[in-house]
Chains A and B, each alone.
Chain A
Amino acid sequence: MSKTNTYKTPFVILILVLLCCFFANISLGSVSIPFKTIFESLIGTTDNYIIQNYRLPKAFTAILVGSGLGISGLLMQTLFRNPLAGPFVLGITSGASLGVALVILGAGIFGGVLSALLISKWTIVIAASLGSFLVLLAVLIVSSRVRDTMAILIIGLMFGSITAAVVSVLSYFSSAEQLQQYIFWGFGSLGNLSWNELAIFFIIYCFGILLSIVSIKGLNTLLLGENYAKSLGLNIKQSRLIIILATSLLAGTITAFAGPIAFIGLAIPHVTRQIFNTSNHKILVPAVFLFGAIVMLICDSIAQLPTSDYTLPINAITSLIGAPVVIWLLVRKRKMVF
């Protein structure tokens, strides 16, 4: 672990890149705002609504989403020893989707009271969190009975198909307007949070990150294989629990607040491993944090199509970047650091 020092330079560079991306993200947008105004509204001497209440929260959301998804992807890939695992393998997105679908689409079936609540953003956030939490709880209960980690992976995928089926039945009975709302939720979005919402998002996110940091040692031991880890005195059950909890907190809240964001969680850990050429989580966790944040900021800047009035759905951009990375991974598999 004495090697940690050799990574100082790349980390300094990454932090600088992150800062640059952050400022670029804030400076670029459909409306061109002079640099002086941007600077002044950042330090608070001028009030600019677009900068202070739209671009800044959006940039922070991008950082939280990118880093959170990256880290939870990393945790899942290590836990399941599977390079194609991502933050959503445990059925977390499926659970969140089911919660949201029940609120938006179910209003048509259950009627009245629910549809009155429908428009509130908080209802959707709560439904998504509850949905992912319940699915997670089911996975946890199952995982305490099943010893094999791979079985948990498959069970997570099964939960995914069950929820997908329920969602399709619900959508069959919903009105076009409700379907539209549900589909828009599925696009994902970063620019939809106010400062208040961002604050709550941040608090839950911090818990997730703390748990991830706690689990670093366990993750490194898990790399050696579950049996070997056990012989080294690692409490497998406990580590597994912490890792799953961290992932669900991160991925669950991110999905609740920003919608299901594709590919970042899968692609970022791989890119980081390739570049840092290590599988030591002491390096990987902070590096994935920085990379995730940087990539998400860049994706968002592209999605805003600077200088044009139009925007693209963030999911389209992340997938456009993510899919080639996965292909590249499969092609290069022999050399992959994992």
Chain B
Amino acid sequence: MPQMLQNKTFTSLLFCSILFFISCKKEVKNIPKISKQDVVNTAFKYAEGFTITHNENFKILNIKNPWPKAEKEYKYALVPKNIASKITLNKEEFDGIITIPIEKIVVTSTTHIPALELLNAEETLIGFPGTDYVSSEKTRARIEHQEIRELGKNEGINTEVLLQLQPEVVIGFGIDGNNKTFETIKKAGIPVIYNGDWVEKTPLAKAEWIKFFGVLYNKGKEADAIFNQIEKDYLEAKKIASKVKKQPTVLSGAMHKDVWYLPNGTSPEAQILKDANVNYLWSKTSGTGSLALSFEAVFDKAKDADLWLSPSYYNSLNALEKANQHYTKFDAFTNKNIYSFANTTGKTGGVLYYELGTTRPDLVLKDVIKICHPELLQNYTPYFFKALK
């Protein structure tokens, strides 16, 4: 069977190439060669969800994990604009053929915006679903000047407006393979690239996805430099924290009804706590997704915890107390040692941490170190986290 298949493929390839030779005789000289020697893989230090392959004339972007346990890889051809007219690629082979650098883009998650800004490519953003969530001042100004179109709320992107905008690419994200809106957009001829930064397991791996945007803008080197700086700052901060002997105990999350949700020990959030050299009380747990624990299990373990970080969306001690009397029985509550990113928001209420935290884990780590070991990082003021009042 495989033999037959191979023969078939071979015959059809032969047929195609003959056709090709006949049809573009004049351009024969310009036909790009795709020889094996030209293929160069860019190796990533942390990120596992995507690869970039350099051919002589174009690049291939492979998205391996657009969502957890994805069944197929997504393969996109990135063709430089100046040779786009001279190159013919087999459309069937790719999930999208995109000319780079991109001049008109639509992204769908606030986590994509910092990468555009760091690469000085924010001018290319022409539409976003739920613009109120955007916090960055630069991009907010463009929204106010109506240079960025509102594409509707939640995942329900307004397809008509999007088609009217005609972006060269839409950066989507999916929880699983079923996303009808993106399928419609694809059918209309606009390529959709799934960004899988959120699937990565470590903070630095998530941050490395800036290289994904780098290649789209032909700014690979800039992206490398930005990431190297973030990595360097992150590792330096980690090193500083590692020297401290006393590890404060840390509680995280909050209850929905009577179930307490908190990050598991292998999550990126727990990784940051570990790198900040604190004793996260659930660091030994594993699994996917949040831990869902009973109130009493959390109370028993964390009643005396020194610090309480990220209590869900609660933005004041009063709000916590109103939601549940039990919260007031924790030492961290009575000592007012609760820190949250919920109060650092943009003009329209978007939480900055959700937008920038993925791209700048160095800032998140420094915040946590400063809160947990106040004697370190003397000149640093936490960027996202503030004590609840």
Contact = CB atoms under 8 A, between A and B. Distances in A.
A50 to B, nearest CB: 5
Contact of B297 (A31, A121, A313): A31
A310 B293 contact: yes
Residues of B in contact with A, size category:
20 to 34
A288 to B, nearest CB: 26
Interface string B324-338: 111001000000000
A31 B319 contact: no
A192 B258 contact: yes
Given A189-B258, A192-B257, A311 B292 contact: yes
A176 B300 CA distance: 31
Interface in A151-208: 172-177, 180-181, 184-185, 187, 189-192, 194
Contact of B294 (A120, A259, A311): A311
A192 B154 CA distance: 29
A19 B314 CA distance: 39
Contacts of B258: 58, 189-192, 311
A32 B213 CA distance: 51
Contact of A54 (B153, B299, B319): B299
Contacts of A282: none
Contacts of A55: 296
B299 A50 contact: yes
Nearest to B282: A309
Contact of B153 (A53, A173, A180): A173
Contacts of A189: 257-259
B322 A304 contact: no
B44 interface: no
B46 interface: no
Given A180-B256, A189-B257, A191-B258, A54 B322 contact: no
B294 A29 contact: yes
Interface string B60-93: 0000000000000000000000000000000000
B294 A30 contact: yes
A280 B38 CA distance: 87
A119 B69 CA distance: 35
B316 to A, nearest CB: 9
B322 A309 contact: no
Given A172-B154, A180-B256, A189-B259, A121 B313 contact: no
Contacts of A192: 255, 257-258, 324
Contact of B257 (A31, A53, A175, A187): A187
Given A172-B156, A189-B258, A311-B259, A30 B293 contact: yes
B329 A49 contact: yes
Contact of A304 (B156, B291, B294): B294
Given A119-B319, A187-B257, A309 B325 contact: no
B194 interface: no
Contacts of A119: 314, 319, 322-323
Q: Is the interface of B mostly helix, strand, loop or mixed?
A: mixed
A310 B292 contact: yes
Interface string A10-52: 0000000000000000000111000000000000000001100
A58 B326 CA distance: 13
B259 A120 contact: no
A296 to B, nearest CB: 15
Nearest to A190: B258
Contacts of A259: 257
A119 to B, nearest CB: 5
A189 B256 CA distance: 10
B323 A30 contact: no
A30 B296 contact: yes
Contacts of A49: 299, 329
A120 to B, nearest CB: 5
Contacts of B325: 53, 194
Interface string B143-177: 00000000001101000000000000000000000
Interface string B292-308: 11111101100000000
A310 B292 CA distance: 6
A266 B74 CA distance: 49
A60 B314 CA distance: 28
A55 B296 CA distance: 9
Nearest to A188: B257
A42 to B, nearest CB: 16
B296 A29 contact: yes
Interface in A93-119: 119
A29 B154 CA distance: 38
Given A172-B154, A309-B291, A54 B296 contact: yes
Contacts of B326: 53-54
Given A172-B156, A177-B313, A184-B256, A31 B296 contact: yes
Contacts of B313: 177
Contacts of B329: 49, 53
Contacts of B153: 172-173, 175
Contacts of B257: 184-185, 187, 189, 191-192, 259
A54 B259 CA distance: 12
A309 B154 contact: no
Given A181-B256, A191-B258, A192-B257, A309 B323 contact: no
Nearest to A180: B256
Nearest to B132: A175
Contacts of A30: 293-294, 296-297, 300
A177 B324 CA distance: 18
Given A119-B319, A174-B154, 11 more contacts: A30-B294, A31-B297, A55-B296, A58-B258, A119-B322, A121-B324, A172-B153, A173-B153, A176-B154, A185-B257, A311-B292
Interface of B: 153-154, 156, 255-259, 291-297, 299-300, 313-314, 319, 322-326, 329
24 contacts: A29-B296, A30-B293, A30-B296, A30-B300, A31-B297, A31-B299, A50-B296, A50-B300, A53-B325, A119-B314, A119-B323, A121-B324, A180-B256, A181-B256, A185-B257, A189-B259, A191-B257, A191-B294, A194-B325, A310-B291, A310-B292, A310-B293, A311-B258, A313-B259
